[in-house]
Amino acid sequence: MDETLARSWKQVEQIIATALSEDFAHCDITTEAVIPPDLEGRASILVKAGGTLAGIEVAQAVFKVVDSALTVDLLIKDGARVRSGDIVATVTGKVASILQAERTALNFLCHLSGIATETSRYVEAVSGLKAKITDTRKTTPGMRMLEKYAVRMGGGSSHRLHLGDWVLITGWRFVLSVQVLKKRLNWYVRVHHLR
């Protein structure tokens, strides 16, 4: 995990809590009906397609939120290249807890790894050029910190986090800025009798 994500970890915890509440992870009627509550087991998180890993610590946090007694061993770090068949983590503990957390954990892992993988392709494409791959503010609502983290894990860099980071005049803002500037200049000229 990089410094920027570490500083925003409280926000990540809120995102995880929202995701788990959407999935009703603490009310899994199927698991409760068919899995004995004390059954212990071990699961492996297996890579299905090659790419760049991102979100493994977020996935770990999901498992720990569902059941703090689960042991999650991370075998590969974010930003690493992975191949189909690689095992990136193992989870040991109550099978019911593992099942309740796995979909949410994998959703984060797949989404963020997808962003990191695509970013790494662009980074490779401009290798050797004076170009730099950066992210934008065009992110999934509520997921900005995580998606920007995934871009960094893919070798890209963060542009600006929010509108208050720095001035950036683009497209329609430029058109509006020119119109406003003309009106202000006309007002200034009129008020100060410069004509």
pLDDT tens track of the chain, all 195 residues? 788 888 889 999 999 999 999 887 567 888 889 999 999 999 999 999 999 999 999 999 999 999 999 999 999 999 999 999 999 999 999 999 999 999 999 999 999 999 999 999 999 999 999 999 988 877 888 898 999 999 999 999 987 666 665 565 666 555 556 667 677 777 777 777 776
Query: For residue 127, with 0-12 CB atoms within 10 Å meaning exposed, 13-18 middle and 19 or more buried, which class applies?
Result: exposed
The single residue of 77, 132, 138, 148 carrying the catalytic annotation is: 138
Which CATH number does 3-153 carry?
3.90.1170.20
d(CA 51, CA 121): 9
138 is a catalytic site residue: yes
Alpha carbon distances (Å) from 70 to 30, 89, 95, 167: 20, 12, 10, 46
Query: For residue 113, with 0-12 CB atoms within 10 Å meaning exposed, 13-18 middle and 19 or more buried, which class applies?
Result: buried
* Cβ–Cβ under 8 Å, residues 62 and 104: yes
Query: Which sequence spans correspond to the domains of the chain?
Result: 3-153, 165-195
d(CA 19, CA 176): 39
pTM to 2 decimal places: 0.83
